[in-house]
Amino acid sequence: MTTISDVAALAGVSKATVSRTFTRPHTVSPETAQRVLNASTKLGFVPNSAARQLARGRTGIIALVVPTLSNSFFTPIISGAQARAQELDLQLTVAVHSLAAAEELASFERLSRQVDGFIVAAPWGTDDVLRTAGMYKPVVLLDRETEGMTSVIADTASAFRSLASHLIAQGHRHLCYIGGPERSWQDPLRLAAVTSAAEHLGTKITALGPCPATFEAGLAISAQVRESGATAVIPYATAIGLGVQFALLHAGVRELPVVTSESPVAEALGRAHTPVIDVDGEELGRVAVNQLAESLESPQATARRIRLRVPVRLDPADQPSV
């Protein structure tokens, strides 16, 4: 392993200059910088991250905490975050825990010593756990807002409002909303959005749930959906919707549109006229990393709330609308 000293020797400068060349290039004369760079590429120098961490008091690692990997809602978020982190020269580690229980805080605390900050996707659970988490290191919340903490959310509530309006415009007179997990943060917002749109337009709405955001749960709740008599379904999460669709298909019901994100299952159902909700998970991940990076730069900056617009489309082939 070549070290900074090797480079310094070859370039004929001091260790300090080499270090500066990489960390604060403008403080080094262009000629010197060039010599250093030549030497370092020639030797294949890569800074030792442990040494850098030790000297700087920073790890250069950020953690992305998700409640599960099984829900495909999170995979694009992870990809987006990973990509952006790499661009910012940060390392991203993905940790799976819900933070729902207080005991999770122990492993959280352990992790907090290994990273500079957290991006936490906590779709459910209470605020105080998040607050406690925020005491260790900077935290950016994902798809969740909490007073005094920086958050990046997809504005699904607005999207749900549009969805309801769309469906009503299509002639539906009875909608079914399937609620999310218990103590979900987004669920009340979405329910309210859908309900207000429906009431405003004089349409009946049945609210089911709570219901975990899983395919299985969707299967399980499908009977209730059919019994409701609704002619269109808006589930809290795509996973639920897919479960419902699958169960409906299995039961031979083909004319009950269920709103989901685009997905192979949904597509296979050939659902013309079923609106689609289009959360850009990768963007969500990217923006969250950006925010966290900013928080790391200026730790005392005030908390920000960022909302990403979520397009809704009448048909998967359409252009985004609303």
Partner DNA sequence: CGATTGGATGGATCCGGTTTCACATCAACC
Partner DNA sequence: GGTTGATGTGAAACCGGATCCATCCAATCG
- Tell which one of 34, 38, 41, 48 touches DNA (CB under 7 A): 48
Beta-bridge mates of residue 93: 63
- Out of DNA, a copy of itself, none, which partner does residue 31 contact, by CB within 5 to 8 A per kind? DNA
At position 230, the amino acid (one-letter code) is: A
- Find the shortest distance in angstroms from Cβ 277 to a copy of itself: 19
- The rounded distance, in Å, linking the Cα atoms of 59 and 112 is 10
Contacts of 243 (CB under 8 A, 6+ apart): 214, 215, 216, 217, 218, 219, 220, 221, 222
Residues numbered 50 to 89 that lie near DNA (CB under 7 A) are: 51-52, 54-57
Q: Residue 308: which of 152, 189, 195 has the closest Cα?
A: 152
Beta-sheet strand order (sheet of 174-178): 204-208, 174-178, 232-235
At how many degrees (to 10) do helices 186-200 and 156-169 cross? 30
Residues numbered 22 to 51 that lie near a copy of itself (CB under 8 A) are: 46, 48-51
Q: What is the largest CA-CA distance in the chain?
A: 81
Residues numbered 252 to 311 that lie near DNA (CB under 7 A) are: none
- Out of a copy of itself, DNA, none, which partner does residue 22 contact, by CB within 5 to 8 A per kind? DNA
Quick note: the x/- pattern for a copy of itself over 83-122, rule CB under 8 A, is ---x----x-xx-x----------x--x--xx--------
From 40-48, 119-127, 183-191, 192-200, span contacting DNA (CB under 7 A): 40-48
For tokens 């020797």, what's the residue? 9
Q: Which helix (H) or strand (E) holds 140?
A: strand 139-142
- Tell which one of 88, 249, 303, 322 touches a copy of itself (CB under 8 A): 249
- Out of a copy of itself, DNA, none, which partner does residue 3 contact, by CB within 5 to 8 A per kind? DNA
**φ, ψ for residue 117, nearest 5 deg:** -170, 175
Tell me whether residue 60 or residue 76 sits nearer to DNA (CB atom): 60
At position 234, the amino acid (one-letter code) is: I
> Residues in the site for a copy of itself, rule: CB under 8 A?
46, 48-51, 53-54, 59, 69-70, 72, 75, 78-79, 82, 86, 91, 93-94, 96, 107, 110, 113-114, 214-216, 219, 243, 246-247, 249-250, 264-265, 268-269
